[in-house]
């Protein structure tokens, strides 16, 4: 029969197991950026979260490219099959690198030295086979990225608004500081004038009456 002491020894272990269970990593599917700058690198983000992380799975990834006005013609530019990376011959040869995670929930790629002709539609296709004890289940997901290539970086509206608010706040703080300085200066000047008048009045008193007179001190 378990005693109270035995229960107290098991409680920390049970809490630790529960803590580990609740602290499993969380996958969030974040959309990729769509604007690139010519001559710079661009990460084509593709995140496909597994619904059940405790189930083992085989993941294959294929990246396709469709140029602007390509009439729906797609070409395979990158694939990850059975743990092997393959880069078919295309205009991106030597400029595509894998940027995915080990758990293959993030299967992004990086496009180096972007050119104007790289604009178009990129399609990330993820084929995942979940392996259960009695059967297997295949899941396919597809993500499209319409890439725009600019000659120079365009400023985001949010960043512009943040910069404007920063300048407004800076101007307000500067004005407030100036008002405080003027207020303190006037207060000190007024105190000095009162003190000077008190000293002048004291000096004007005949010497025989100074023994019974004291200079008023302003609190």
Residue range 121-132, pLDDT digits in tens: 999 999 998 888
* Residue 138, pLDDT score: 87
- Please answer whether residues 79 and 61 qualify as being in contact, where contact means their C-beta atoms are separated by less than 8 angstroms: yes
- In 3D space, the residue among 119, 141, 128 whose CA is nearest the CA of residue 65 turns out to be 119
- Please answer whether residues 28 and 49 qualify as being in contact, where contact means their C-beta atoms are separated by less than 8 angstroms: yes
* Residue 107, pLDDT score: 95
**% the chain with pLDDT above 70:** 74
Residue 94 has pLDDT above 50, yes or no: yes
Structure confidence by residue, pLDDT tens digits, 160-194: 677 788 889 888 889 988 998 888 988 888 887 77
* Residue 21, pLDDT score: 38
Residue 12 has pLDDT above 60, yes or no: no
Taking all residues of the chain, what is their mean pLDDT, rounded to a whole number?
A: 79
Residue 98 has pLDDT above 70, yes or no: yes
Q: What is the DSSP letter of 110?
A: E
- In 3D space, the residue among 31, 43, 62, 66 whose CA is nearest the CA of residue 112 turns out to be 43
What is the gyration radius of the CA atoms in the chain, in angstroms?
Answer: 36
- Between 83-92, 139-148, 205-214, the lowest mean confidence (pLDDT) is in 205-214
Residue 2 has pLDDT above 90, yes or no: no
| 3-state secondary structure at position 168 | helix
pTM confidence score: 0.58
* Residue 154, pLDDT score: 67
Structure-token pair, residue 89:
């011959």
Structure-token pair, residue 31:
């959309």
Structure confidence by residue, pLDDT tens digits, 54-91: 678 899 999 999 998 877 788 999 999 988 999 999 99
């Amino acid at each position: 029969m378990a005693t109270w002491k035995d229960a107290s020894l098991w409680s920390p272990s049970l809490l630790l197991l529960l803590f580990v269970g609740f602290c499993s990593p969380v996958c969030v599917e974040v959309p990729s950026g769509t604007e690139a700058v010519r001559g710079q690198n661009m990460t084509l983000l593709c995140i496909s979260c597994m619904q059940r992380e405790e189930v083992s799975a085989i993941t294959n990834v294929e990246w396709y490219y469709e140029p602007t006005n390509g009439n729906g013609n797609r070409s395979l530019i990158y694939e990850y099959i059975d743990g092997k990376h393959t880069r078919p011959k295309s205009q991106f040869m030597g400029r595509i690198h894998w940027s995915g995670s080990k758990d293959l929930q993030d299967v992004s790629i990086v496009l180096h030295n972007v050119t104007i002709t790289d604009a178009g539609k990129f399609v990330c296709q993820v084929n995942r086979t979940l392996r259960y004890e009695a059967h297997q289940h295949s899941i396919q997901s597809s993500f499209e990225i319409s890439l725009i290539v600019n000659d120079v970086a365009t400023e985001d509206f949010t960043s512009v608004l943040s910069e404007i608010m920063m300048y407004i706040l800076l101007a307000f703080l500067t004005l407030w500081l100036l008002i405080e300085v003027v207020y303190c200066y006037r207060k000190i000047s007024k105190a000095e004038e009162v003190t000077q008048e008190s000293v002048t009045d004291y000096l004007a008193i005949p010497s025989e009456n100074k023994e019974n007179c004291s200079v008023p001190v302003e609190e």
